[in-house]
Amino acid sequence: SPSLPAAVMAAGPPPPLEPSPLPVFSEEGFGDKFLRKTRENPLVPLGCLCTVGVLTYGLISFKRGNTRRSQLMMRARILAQGFTFAALLGGMVVTAMKSKN
């Protein structure tokens, strides 16, 4: 008497003779990926630009000897970095929620 797995396998349709073709994905370059990600979450690049701008202004102030403004800009940089990180996390949560549905 045939074993149960052999009987179950024999009951189904035969496998296809040729493998089904794999889907073809276009190669996405850095620029295309950057633009797509920017459209998905525009707050992250905005936060990065703000962080770099505030950091640059703070370093220029430091070099010119304006320590008060330099300290203020370093604190603003921390806030800009926090905003960027929150935007990144928020984007990840939104992407996870979309993929779940």
Residue at 90: amino acid letter: G
Residue 55 CA to residue 78 CA, distance in Å, equals 9
- C-beta separation of 37 from 92 below 8 A: no
Count each helix (H run) and each strand (E run) in the chain, helices first: 4, 0
pTM of the model: 0.64
Ranges in the chain, pLDDT < 70: 1-16, 24-25
pLDDT at 77: 97
Residue 92 CA to residue 44 CA, distance in Å, equals 11
pLDDT at 29: 86
Q: Give φ, ψ of 53 to 5 degrees.
A: -65, -45
pLDDT at 3: 55
pLDDT at 99: 84
> 38 by DSSP, 3-state: which?
helix
pLDDT at 52: 97
* Residue 93: exposure state from Cβ atoms within 10 A (0-12, 13-18, ≥19): exposed
pLDDT at 33: 86
